[in-house]
Structure 1
Amino acid sequence: MKLLLTSGGVTNPSIRDALVDLLGKPISDSSALCIPTAQYGHPWVGPGVKAWEFISGNSQNPMVDLGWKSVGVLELTALPSIDEERWVPLVRETDVLLVAGGDVLYLCYWMRQSGLVDLLPSLSETVWVGLSAGSMVMTPEVGEDFIQWRPPTGDDSTLGIVDFSICPHLAPDGMPGNSMAEAERWAAGISGPAYVMDDQTAIKVVDGTVEVVSEGQWKHLPS
């Protein structure tokens, strides 16, 4: 799987160019499935209006509204109740998964419960575009600052598909988001390396090679 891990979506030409490079073809020739699941678990997000905004492409985070050839919805909480034959071929045939932000552990739990996690290793050509929690779920750990919900097992690990953690929404002091000082305090509680990035930044990962794509501010914090 090819990863484009964003803080705020496809917010500038550099991130869009990185997405097209990962797809290997124009966005207008590519099919997408959006995954809103993380939104339902976060107290500030959904369910309700914000989930609709993401699915319909009316949110402030450019992802669904980029001009895809087709867009569908993959709701992870529904998958355990339907046969795999109804959704697995759909995922395999789709060029890109657009994964909303929200609660990262809620998303991780339903990725595991639905069976999507088990499918990921076989999706070598699929592009995963994460937004905030949709990016953080691919990391080994998120830290206490980003935990609002815990699964019934109490497990607070995430997927560990990449070997670094992410603090999204870097912002100047006094502005909505996370200040650099807050991010550095968060990183002190993380066991491995981390990236702090604003909404104009993304991390591209292909075959273990990590590339930061940015028209904004970011910082790598070694372990």
Structure 2
Amino acid sequence: MKLLLTSGGITNNSIYNELVDMLDKPITDSNVLCIPTAMYGHPWVGPGVKAWKFISGKEENPMVNLGWKSVGVLELTALPTIDKDRWVPLVQEIDVLLVSGGDALYLSYWMKQSGLAELLPSLKAVYIGMSAGSMVMAPTVGEYFIGWTPPDDSDEALGLVEFSIFPHLNHESLPGNTLKAAEKWAASLKGPGYAMDDQTAIKVIDDTAEVISEGYWKLFQT
């Protein structure tokens, strides 16, 4: 599976061009599923109007509104109650998964509960994460980002990449997301971590990670 792990979505030409290169067809010919689940676990962004804005492409972060051929919704909390024959073939044939921000541990929990987590490595789709949608791929999210607490009280995520992500570095609406805070976050990790602003993304293909940035980022090795 090809991963494009962003902090704030497809925010500049460098990230956009990498997305185009990762697809095997034009954006206008690509069918996508958007996953808003992470939003419901975060007190700032859901449920409610924020989730609707993500799904409808009305929010500021460029994700759903890039001109896709079609956009569907995959709500992970509903999947355990639906026969897998109704949704697994759809996910296996889709071109792109767009995964919103919100609470990364809530998203991780429902990816596992729904069965999507075990499917991800085998999918042909390009996975595009934003904020929590990117963080969920890490081994752990780090103590700084523990909000919703899973039943096992762990900060473990999916572990499909070898690094963790500190998004929205130096964001004007998040005054606590400073480099000093990122350094403290990194000290709590058992592996490497990237702190990155909203003009930065990480492309992962065949376990090889490459930073794509028109902004600021820093890699912490622990």
Question: Aligning the two structures, in what range does the TM-score lie when normalised by the shorter sequence?
Answer: over 0.9
Q: Return 198-207 or 167-176, whichever deviates more.
A: 167-176
* Maintained 8 Å contact 2:7/2:201: yes
CA drift of 1:154 comes to 2.5
Question: Residue 119 of structure 2 aligns to a residue in which SS?
Answer: helix
Gaps of 5+ in 2: none
Query: Counterpart in 2 of 1:27?
Result: 27
C-alpha displacement at 1:178, in angstroms? 1.1
Query: Equivalent residue for 1:110?
Result: 110
Distance 1:101 1:174 in 2: 15
CA distance in 1, matches of 2:125, 2:174: 35
CA offsets 1:46-103 (integer angstroms, 9 cap, x no match): 0001000000001111100000011000000000011111101110110010000000
Please tell me whether the aligned partners of residues 171 and 197 of structure 2 are also in contact (alpha carbons under 8 angstroms): no
Report the secondary structure of 1:130's partner residue.
strand
Q: 2:68 is matched with which residue?
A: 68
| Contact 2:108/2:158 (<8 A) preserved | yes
Q: Tell me the CA shift for residue 155 of structure 1.
A: 3.3
- Check whether the contact 1:100–1:133 (CA below 8 A) recurs between aligned residues: yes
TM-score, with length taken from structure 2:
0.97
Q: Closer, same or farther in 2 for the Cα pair 1:194/1:81, shift >3 Å?
A: same
Does the CA-based 8 Å contact 2:112-2:118 persist in structure 1? yes
Give the CA deviation at 1:23: 0.8
The 3-state SS of whatever aligns with 1:105 is: helix
Task: Summarize the Cα distance change of 1:218–1:154 in structure 2 as closer, same or farther, 3 Å threshold.
Answer: same
Give 4+ residue runs of structure 1 displaced > 6 Å after superposition: 172-175
Q: How does 1:134-149 map to 2 (within 5 A)?
A: 134-149=133-148
Alignment partner of 1:3 is 2:9: no
Q: Is the 8 A contact 1:169 1:177 kept in 2?
A: no
- The letter for the 2-side match of 1:19 is L
Question: Any residues of structure 2 matched to 1:1-223 within 5 Å, and which?
Answer: 1-123=1-123, 125-171=124-170, 176=175, 178-223=177-222
8 Å Cα contact 1:140/1:165 also seen in 2: yes
Tell me how large the CA RMSD over aligned residues is.
Answer: 1.4
- What secondary structure, in the 3-state scheme, does the structure 2 residue paired with 1:79 have? helix
Cα gap change, 1:24 to 1:183, in 2 (>3 Å): same
Which one is further off, 70-79 or 168-177? Answer: 168-177
Measured in 2, the distance between the counterparts of 1:181 and 1:156 equals 21
Seen in structure 2, the aligned counterparts of structure 1 residues 25 and 149 have a Cα distance that, compared at 3 Å, is same
TM-score (norm 1): 0.96
Q: Gaps spanning 5+ residues in structure 1: where?
A: none
Question: Structure 2 vs 1, CA of residues 133 and 173 (structure 1 numbering), >3 Å: closer, same or farther?
Answer: closer
Residue 153 (structure 1) shift: 3.0
Kept after mapping to 2: 8 A contact 1:33/1:73: yes
